[in-house]
Structure 1
């Protein structure tokens, strides 16, 4: 809240005063799906010995195939690095999977819907009360 003031001049046959507040709303960052951002793999699986052994075997197979391919043809250092990077990332993605970041929602849709329902009812009540007060004031003034 940046500023809060009361407006005391409105006469609506009530002992309440109008309160006006200025709010500053900060929106959370919209997280990307991970395709353009840095991919983080679920390394917690490596604590499990079965997953660790599966990862080692898959990685050794990929590197062995890569090494056999490199023996057959002459390649540059850049091509070697791309092959190693591709083998490592694809093995991690298959065996470990991507790390899922679950960010807690700031406010849920149910909360927003629950917040709007009382406002509709109070608006209807205010309209009805205003009509009633206008009739009562006319009756008092003109009788």
Structure 2
């Protein structure tokens, strides 16, 4: 197991995860005991409870596992509704939730997708928590 000190820069924390994502590296924790892929990484496996978690780069491709359309968005995103969000199973087996850059009627279970990462807009920064303002935004695009 890779030994990671748990501080704000650790890839086992959300700030560390988003720092890596901003640099183009999608990280996941991989449990050395049961093989569960944890995205974002965390210090303990949610499948078996092991603390033997390695941090590894993950593929940015996968397929739609589940999806829905958001009609009643949080107040800060009311103007974006309706929009599509999906749970995507990456090619590594890990799952990540995110917006899909496609209309709901154009998405289907098992559609192939690719993760893209961008800087947040000024509007997104304005509604983010103070420590999230520079975190990148991830979205999935149909392939």
Q: Normalising to structure 2: TM-score of the pair?
A: 0.17
Larger RCO (CA within 8 A; separation ≥ 6) = 1
Structure with the larger helix share: 1
Structure with the larger strand share: 2
Bigger radius of gyration: 1
